[in-house]
Structure 1
Amino acid sequence: MKAGEAGRALLWLGVLAGLALPWLTVAPNRLLPGLAMSGFAAIGWTALLALVLAVPQRVPAWLGAATALGGVAFLLAATGWAAATSLEGLAPAARAGLGGGFWLGLVAAAALVAARGAALPGLGRSILAIAALLALALLWRAGTFAALSLVVEYRAREAAVHAALLRHLALAGAALALALLLAVPLAWAGFRRPGAAGAVGASLGAVQVVPAIALFAALIPLLAGLLALFPSLRNLGLGAIGPAPAVLATAGYLALPLWRSVLGGLTAADPAAVAAARAMGLTEGGITREVRLPLALPVFAGGLRVAVVQAIGLVTLGGLVGAGGLGALVFEGLSQFATDLMLLGALPIMALALVADALVRALEHRLGGTA
C-alpha cells in the first residue's frame, strides 16, 4: 500500500471511529448533561455514506475530491436532520449538542477531502474550496443546522459574537503592528551592529519564558502605577484593564519571531550579490533596497506567518483582563460550564488562525518562488 493510500485509510478509520463515538447529545437544557448517541444511532443508514470517502482512487482526481466533498456534505446535513428529529416532542429548552465523535469524524473527513484535493492543480484546489464554502452556505441558508445547540446559542448571541470577532481582529492587528514597530528597528540595529544582536535577542527571548497568563496579569498593576504617575495617559485611552495589557503582552511575545525573521532576512543575502552590487556603485542604502530586501522578503514572510497565528491565539487571553474579543466568550462559557458558548469563541479563533496561516503561507511561497 502506498503512503498516500495508507494515510487515507487512517483518516477513513478516523471517520468511522467518530461515527462509533457519541455524535449527538440530547439534554433537557444548555447546562445539564444529556443522553449521548453514536453516529450510527443518530444518523442511521446515512452514516454509511462515510464509506464513499474510502473508495479507492482509480478515478480522476477531480472526481475523487468531489465525491469526498459530497460525502462530508451528506454527513453534515444528516447531523442537522438528526438533531431536529431528536428534539421532537421535547420541551423548548431541550438542546441537541454535538459530541466528541462528531468533531473527530468531521476533522478526519475534512482531512480526506484536503488529501484528495492536494492532487488537483492550483485552480482545482481553489474551485474545491469554493465548492465547500458554497455547500456549507446552502446548508446553512436552508436551516439544516437550526436545531443544533451550537446554532441556537449563536442565534441568541449573534450580535455579540460578531462584535467579539471584530474586536478580536482589532486586538490581534494592534498587537502585530506594535510588535513590528519594535522588532524592525531592533533588527536593523542588530544588522548594522552585530555585537548588539545578542543582547536584544536575549531580552526578547526572556519574554518567551514568562507564562502568558502571568504576563497579562502582571501588566495590570504596572499599567496602574504608570497611570498614577501620568494621569494624562488616560486621555489616550490607556487603561490598566482592557485592550492595553492584552495588546502590550501579545506584542511582547510576537517581537521575537518578527525580530529573528527580519534580522535573518537581512543577513541572508549572498555576499557575492552584495559585492557585485557594491562594485556597480550602489550605496549601502541602494544595496539594502535592491538586494537585501528582495532576498529577505521570503524569510520575513515566514516569521510573519508565525506571528500572525500567535497573535490570533494569544489575544484570546485578553478576555481575562477585560479586553473583550472571542476570548471573553470562551471564558464566559467556562464560568457557566456551557460547552456551546465556549465553542462559539473557540471555533472562530481556530478558523481565523487557519485562514491567516494559509494566506500568509501562500504569500511566503509566492515570494519564495515556489509552487
Structure 2
Amino acid sequence: MTMPVPASLGFRMPAEWSPHSRCWMAWPVRAETFPNGLAAARLAYAEVAKAIAQFEPVTMLCPESEVAEVSLSCGKGVEVMPLTLSDSWLRDNGPTFLVNDAGQQAGVHWGFNAWGRNYEDFQPDTEVAARILDRLGLPRFVAPLVMEGGSFHVDGEGTLLTTQECLLNPNRNPGLSKAEIEGHLRDFLGVREILWLERGYEQDETDGHIDEIACFVRPGVVLALTTDDTADPNYPVFRENIERLKASKDAAGRTLEVVTIRTPARKEQSGIRLTLSYINFYLANGGVVMPAFEDPEDVEAFRLFRRLFPDRDVVQVPALDIVRGGGGIHCITQQQPA
C-alpha cells in the first residue's frame, strides 16, 4: 500500500514570513568544514541564535558532550537538544515543516547525500529530520528525492523557486527527469507553479542553492542578487536570473516584482570564492536576522531590508565565519510554523 503524499491530505509548506513556533539550529561539530576553526564558527552560530531568540524560541541540536558549552554560549531563550551530528546546516538536512487548513503540522524527510557526496561521513545527518519530527510527535512524509532545504523557496501561495544547476544535477537524483522532480515538489510541498532559474552563485559548493541568489519577500515580490561588476563571472548569471524572474508569473498569475540587492566585494579562501549574499537571511516573528560581511555594502543592504520589512526589527550579525564554512544564516536555520 502506497502512503498518501502530503498535498493529497491538504498539507503545504507555508511562507517563511508566516508565524513560527520556533527556530531549529545545529551546533558546529565538523572541524574540517570551518577553516578558521570551530571556536570562530561556534561564536558566529551563537550570535545568530541569540539574535533570533529575541523574537522566537530557538532549539540548538548538539552532541551530548557539548550540551553544557552550548547552553553557556547561547544563553537564555535557546533550548539545547542532544543529538548525534556530522555537520551543522540544518536548513539542508532538517525537516521541511508543513501545515494544513485544520492547523495540523507535519514534516518532509528528504533524502540527504551531503550535497552530492561532498564528504562521505554524513550518515548521522540523514536521521536528523526523523529525530526532530519524532520528538515533536509530528507525521513524517519520506520523500523519494535527494533535496536540501536551501535549494528551494516558496511564497506559501503555491509558487516555488529553485535552480536547474542544483535540482537537475546528476549528483542528486540521476534517475529522475525534470518532470518527475516537479511532480515530487508538488506532492510534498503543495505547490502548483515551479519557477526555474538556470544557475546559482559562482563556486557555490551546494551546486547553486536558491537561498544564495533569490527569495520571495512577500507574495508577488522577489529579492534577487545582482552585481555592477561586468568582469564578475556572476554578472551574466545574475542578469539572466533577473530577466527570467521579471518574465515569470506566480501561481496566482501575478507578474513578479523584482527587487535587486548588490553582492559584497569578492572574497576568497584558498583560491575559492566565498558565497557572500544578503539573500541568505532568516525571517523571525517580528524580526529579520541578516548578515554583515565587513563590507561597505553592509550599510546599504541594511537600509534596503528596513524598507522591505517595515513592520520587522532588522538585526545585522557578523556572518563571515559562517560563510567560510560554505553557507549563511538561512542555511543554518529552519523555521517551524506556529
TM-score (norm 2): 0.23
RCO comparison, higher one (Cα < 8 Å, 6+): 2
Q: Which has the higher helix share?
A: 1
